[in-house]
Chain A
Amino acid sequence: MEISQLLKGVLDLAVLAVLREEDGYGYDVLRRLRTAGLDEVGDASVYGTLRRLYKAGLLTSYVVPSEEGPHRKYYSLNEPGRLRLAESGKTWLSFASTMNSLLGEAA
């Protein structure tokens, strides 16, 4: 099964998750996702997702000038974002355990 297909449903959750501990600019978020093992995640998809979460009011942003190169726009999780992360996290966990038990029986 294509991981990219699965990612579509959970990318929001993944992005919220990597911003839980620490704010990050777009490329940070991408790197954290890659480091976590989501190699298939597309660059543009991450940036698009960040914008969508921001427009949904789950993220706030602030700009930090950079010595070398373009300025960086950091995103941070706000209160609605944390609530959403908790909610979606719960949904995912129950979904995953359902899938696990399903697959455990089948395997």
Chain B
Amino acid sequence: MSDKPTAVRVYLARVRTSLADLPPTEVEEILDDVRPHLAEIEAEMGPGARVDALIERLGTPESYAAELRASGGYPPVAETVVAASTTVTKSAPGRAQPRIALWGLVLCTIWAGGVAFVAGHMLNPDVLLILLFAAPVFLVSIVLVLHVGVARVRALPEVKWLVATLDRAREQESAAKTMRFLGTLKPAWWVVCAVALAAFGLLLMARHRQAVLLLPFLIAIGLAAVWAGQRVRGDRRLVWMVAPVSAFVVGGLFGGFGATVDLIGDRTPYATASSNSPTSGQYGNGELRYRGSGVENIYAFDAEGKPLTDIYLYDEKGEPITLPRYGCRTPNGGETKSGEDNRFPRPRIEMTQQPSSDAPGAYTTYETVCRETAGVPFSAAIPKSTTSSSPPVSTTPSAPSPTPSVTSSAPPPSSPSSPSRPTPTK
């Protein structure tokens, strides 16, 4: 059989649409009886048969369906399917409630999916509170569908169009195969929902303790989805439950997937830190911090206030305090990382704008010049009372070390190790 819609398939699809208000399993049974007959007729008439030829032989699909109803003891077509399409004027006011019920469901489903996506992405249970915004819409939708019944919702033109489209697809071989395959996955899907909801709850709980309140809630919804998923074919009202839950799970899975991708993406590229960001130390480069901000260079002075060059720093475990070293990229391309060591102080790196030497004509063009400057940019007045180990009261006679001077007029330094006031030499 080819995939293109033959006359028989079109005919069957129209019969199916006319029986849309009957239980779907029953409609399948009926069509199973009818199909071999129509296939026979098709074989008789050849593959090029037109729907008109079938209608000439069997009557319209709609009258065929009506005959099936009458002889099969099914409820007549009048009150549901046909009523909505033929008596537009009469049913117009009656459509408002089913329509609100339907679109409320659609809205809540989209909302649930979106919120779950964001919550999964940010792994933040507080986001789930946004779900409550949709709660009134959802409640109204449920109340209405329980009030007017699913049949009225199914009679809406938009739903009939959707059902008819699906029916037409079902009569096509390839689409039907896909749908049957998806159909076999359904029970598994509800289990996936339950597992995903429980996992989501556990994950949130791991991140935020207060989410422990959510966990039983999510598990209950998961179990309810498994329960309702089995029965939704028989009771379409359960769609109001399984559709938002499914959307929530799909959104959460996609969000969680996105979060995972972000997490992996964050880790890797910074391992070889970019060269021109000296302070980007948090991803593996060593960084010195003092009072909350990064320290890029260290200047040391001896007791006389003489700056020390070429000192090597170690921590209390004897590990070198190794920081990335930056230098000028030759000849004048800006600064670049040139290595890592624990030697201080580092030469200062200055970027200056200089008139370009080879500038043609009247325009003076400027170029950025990178210059490394050794030396100490400031001098430090070391307070005289910094003899580390000897308190002022101790009377050590003739100590060779620098002693606290009696003439020291400087106020007692609050922090003896720091230069009291750096005065730039430039």
List the interface of chain A (C-beta within 8 A of B).
Answer: 11, 25-27, 30, 42-52, 54-55, 63, 66, 69-73
Is B106's CB within 8 Å of the partner chain A? no
Is B33's CB within 8 Å of the partner chain A? yes
Q: Give 14 A-B contacts (CB < 8 Å), ordered by A residue.
A: A26-B33, A26-B34, A30-B37, A43-B34, A44-B58, A45-B67, A47-B30, A47-B34, A48-B67, A48-B68, A48-B71, A49-B71, A69-B40, A73-B29
Partner of B72, one of A42, A49, A69, A71: A49
Partner of A73, one of B1, B26, B33, B68: B33
Nearest Cβ in chain A — how far from B5, in angstroms? 15
Nearest Cβ in chain A — how far from B11, in angstroms? 12
Partner of B33, one of A11, A42, A51, A69: A51
Nearest Cβ in chain B — how far from A24, in angstroms? 11
Other A-B pairs beyond A50-B33, A73-B33, 16, CB < 8 Å? A11-B71, A25-B36, A26-B34, A30-B37, A43-B37, A44-B34, A45-B68, A46-B71, A48-B72, A48-B74, A52-B73, A63-B32, A69-B36, A69-B39, A69-B43, A73-B32
Is B143's CB within 8 Å of the partner chain A? no
Partner of B67, one of A42, A51, A55: A42
Contacts of B47-66 to chain A: CB distance below 8 A: 58, 64-65
- A interface, by DSSP: helix, strand, loop or mixed? helix
Across the A-B interface, the 4 shortest Cβ-Cβ residue pairs: A48-B71, A48-B72, A26-B33, A44-B67
List the interface of chain B (C-beta within 8 A of A).
Answer: 1, 26, 29-30, 32-37, 39-40, 43, 58, 64-65, 67-74
Closest A residue to B72 by CB, please name it.
Answer: A48
Instruction: Check if B36 sits within 8 Å of A27, measured CB to CB.
Output: yes
* Chain B residues, Cβ within 8 Å of A44: 34, 58, 64-65, 67-68, 71
* Chain A residues, Cβ within 8 Å of B40: 27, 69
* Chain B residues, Cβ within 8 Å of A48: 30, 67-74
- State A63–B39 Cα separation when bound (angstroms): 16
Closest B residue to A28 by CB, please name it.
Answer: B36
Which of A25, A45, A48, A73 gathers most chain B CB within 10 Å? Answer: A48
* Chain A residues, Cβ within 8 Å of B58: 43-44
Nearest Cβ in chain B — how far from A47, in angstroms? 4
Instruction: Check if B71 sits within 8 Å of A72, measured CB to CB.
Output: no
* Chain B residues, Cβ within 8 Å of A69: 1, 36, 39-40, 43
Instruction: Check if A47 sits within 8 Å of B33, measured CB to CB.
Output: yes
Nearest Cβ in chain A — how far from B2, in angstroms? 13
* Chain A residues, Cβ within 8 Å of B74: 48
Nearest Cβ in chain B — how far from A84, in angstroms? 15
Which of B39, B65, B70, B72 gathers most chain A CB within 10 Å? Answer: B72
* Chain B residues, Cβ within 8 Å of A63: 32
Instruction: Check if B34 sits within 8 Å of A55, measured CB to CB.
Output: no
Instruction: Check if B71 sits within 8 Å of A26, measured CB to CB.
Output: no
Nearest Cβ in chain A — how far from B179, in angstroms? 16
* Chain A residues, Cβ within 8 Å of B36: 25-27, 66, 69-70, 72
- State A50–B34 Cα separation when bound (angstroms): 11
* Chain B residues, Cβ within 8 Å of A46: 71
* Chain A residues, Cβ within 8 Å of B73: 48, 52, 55
* Chain B residues, Cβ within 8 Å of A45: 67-68, 70-71
Instruction: Check if B26 sits within 8 Å of A51, measured CB to CB.
Output: yes
Nearest Cβ in chain B — how far from A12, in angstroms? 9
Partner of A70, one of B26, B35, B70: B35
Nearest Cβ in chain A — how far from B238, in angstroms? 24
Which of B58, B67, B74 gathers most chain A CB within 10 Å? Answer: B67
